[in-house]
Amino acid sequence: MPIPKRSARGHSIIEIGLAVVLLIVLGLLSANIYVIVIAKLYNDRVCKDSIMLAAKEALDGKDKQEVQTAALGGMDSCGMGGFFIGRPQYKYYSDEVTSDVRVLTIRTDTQVRIPLPFLVLNTNLETPGWIKLTSTYEYRITNPKKIGAGDSADE
**Cα separation of 90 and 83, whole Å?**
20
pLDDT band at 7 (very low <50, low <70, confident <90, very high): low
pLDDT(113) > 80: yes
What mean pLDDT comes out for the span 19-45? 92
CA-to-CA distance for 134 and 89, rounded, in angstroms? 10
Does 119 score more than 90 pLDDT?
A: no
Distance CA 111, CA 131 (A): 6
pTM over 0.75: yes
Which pLDDT value is given to residue 115?
84
Sequence-separated contacts (24+) of 9-15 with Cβ below 8 Å: none
Average pLDDT rounded to a whole number, residues 2-20: 76
pLDDT at 72: 87
